[in-house]
Chain A
Amino acid sequence: MSFRNIGIVYRKELREALRDRRTVIASVVIPLFLFPLLSVGFGALVGSIVKKTKEASPKVMVVGGEDSPKVLAALKATPKIEVVPAAPNWKDLVVEKEIPVAVEIPTGFDKGVAVQKKLQVNIYNYSGELKSEIAAGKLNDSLKAYRDEVVKGRVVEHKLPVEVLDPFEVTQKNIAPPEKSGAALFFGGFIAYIVVFLCFNGGMHPAIDLTAGEKERGTMETILSSPISRSHLVFGKFLLVLTTALATAALSVISMGISFALVNSLQAKTIQAGDEGIEMHIGVGAALSVFIMAIPLAVLFSSVQLMVASFAKTYKEAQTYLVPLIFIVIIPAIAAMLPGVDLSAKLALVPILNVSLLCKELVIGTYHWNFIAIIFTSTCAYAAVALFLATKMFQRESVLFRS
């Protein structure tokens, strides 16, 4: 093993990679700017849209109720809604999003209420449409408040205390530490998913460029005519792919840490656990642990990418093989985010899923040392096999000179 030769190849590949726009964008620009854009930018945009919609006074079309001035007065008195007269085609107007919501008051509503008759009020909205949902919510709250007033009036009329309506209160309290709650676990799983995805994505372009790209440009024959052994050559190339994958993972974790700190400082809590919000943050220890666990995973990804890409004749052909692999990689990472999927001895041996599940725990500060040992060892073993196969692939003439 000549470390000198591996170092020569690595330095040359690094120099070329730093001059390659595609590598710089995939490994540096995307991880650095994706999270601030997603968490701060996108979060702020969504927050501003929701706030604006909530503060607006949506038009509410009241169908019927001409003979029930009391309920109409209650609706008109509701803050931040604008009651408008009903049009004959009010249902079409809701469906076409011309008005956000309509309410149907049955004939003789006030009289019915007075004689304690069971009545039905219908609210018509466009489900899933933000403006319509918020308007329906306001309308619902207004009608419920009116109903409560009616009930209170009846209780008072019968000379009963108001407390008769609420014999006891029920409250639910979370006693798990907020930083280890279900929402925090979901947040940890999300970080694991992002690290896995970017680790794979960061190494993909260099892996293709250094193998199929070389064949396509005709430099493969040039380098094969030099005295360097093929195993040294593939090690040098592998180290560069690994560097970009790890750089992407490291930059993404740093960028996430900074972005979430920024979001927290702006008090924009976007994930809710029951009634309690959680602060999204990654500590230095957690970030370091995630990065260390990402190393064997990056070795595995880099080796597989080199092996697959070296089989291809052209850059495009290699992309055809590697892009579908992204889905194979992210499925276990997404599975790790699902509630109820937790680390077990069996799952600790499933590549990608094991690291994702572990990272989820690491982010919230839980260290299962037995699982950490199993996962680190098994991922290193898979990575070693993949690297061995990549080296073998690079020594096959039928692969290097495939036509």
Chain B
Amino acid sequence: MIEARSLSKRFHDKKRGEIRAVDNVSFVAKPGQIYGLLGANGAGKTTTLRLLATILEPTDGTAVVNGHDVVDSPEKVRASVGFLSGGTALYPRLTAQEMVEYFGRLNGLDEATLKKRVDEIFNRLDMNEFRDRRCDKLSTGMKQKTSIARTLVHDPPVMIFDEPTSGLDVMTARTIMGFIRECRDRGKTVIFSTHVMSEVEKLCDVVGIIQSGKLLTEGTLGQLRERHGEQDLEEIFVKVVAPLYVEPEAK
């Protein structure tokens, strides 16, 4: 379970002054559900997920992840979470197996359990062929499988995906989508950010639309259609986001 309580994150920028990247965001994501965080670029999705994964610390508010507070017990939160994003790359000079084992050990697994878990995951994801190959020699699909194995090695109850299909080809993206569904089916709490409407329609049980750091609306797809009087998700998104939309600044 994830419970965000008035979660806020402010940054200071020399040119733009104070930026409210996440502004008073509250929501609940339950086990066995996929919660989709839908937003344009720069809307605050990544910052929200980094706050939940305790990679960043909130300025105000808090969140409870699997019973642990992100402010008080960040290490326990991280031990309960599998975090996968476009930015979570692999160590190029480690093999696929070494990469997964490294994260297993960091998550406190003993050697016997680790070996069992690694064998199980490598068999399930059909990774045995390239388990001893260095990560910088893997194809994109192999890299994604290794990243998935890395997030799964400690069998976390909560999975956080930050635009996991960004920049991937159709086949690799399908593998990721299948994996996200599987996590839900295994009773994990899944939160997933994207700006691709079709992914939300295919995967999400509950959708939250975020813009300028604010969570503007949330509900099941049916509830959103009814609330905003539109059938098409893109139309709903535009209707909700338009009043607050600003062009993201170039980095």
Contacts and interface: CB of A to CB of B under 8 A. Distances in A.
A329 B197 CA distance: 56
Contacts of A292: none
Contacts of A147: none
B108 A227 contact: yes
A8 B106 contact: yes
Q: What DSSP secondary structure best describes chain A's contact surface?
A: helix
B88 A218 contact: yes
Given A218-B89, A225-B88, A403-B251, A15 B78 contact: no
B161 to A, nearest CB: 12
Contacts of A98: none
Contacts of A12: 91, 94, 98, 102
Interface string A202-245: 00000000000000011101101111110000000000000000
Interface range for B = 20 to 34
B192 interface: no
Contacts of A227: 75-76, 78-79, 106-108
A66 interface: no
Interface string A359-403: 000000000000000000000000000000000000001000101
A16 B88 contact: no
Given A8-B102, A8-B105, A221-B85, A229 B91 contact: no
Contacts of B251: 403
Contacts of A346: none
B110 to A, nearest CB: 11
Interface in B197-251: 251
Contacts, number: 62
Interface string A5-27: 10011001001100110000000
A217 B106 contact: no
A222 B93 contact: no
A15 B98 contact: yes
Nearest to A13: B91
B91 A401 contact: no
Contacts of B53: 225
Nearest to A395: B57
B130 interface: no
B127 interface: no
Contacts of B134: 19
Contacts of B90: 219, 222
A401 B89 contact: no
21 contacts: A5-B106, A8-B105, A12-B98, A12-B102, A15-B94, A16-B91, A16-B93, A19-B134, A218-B87, A218-B88, A218-B89, A219-B91, A221-B87, A221-B89, A222-B150, A225-B53, A225-B88, A226-B106, A226-B107, A227-B78, A227-B79
Interface of B: 53, 55-57, 75-76, 78-79, 81, 83, 85, 87-94, 98, 102-103, 105-108, 134, 150, 251
Interface of A: 5, 8-9, 12, 15-16, 19-20, 217-219, 221-222, 224-229, 397, 401, 403
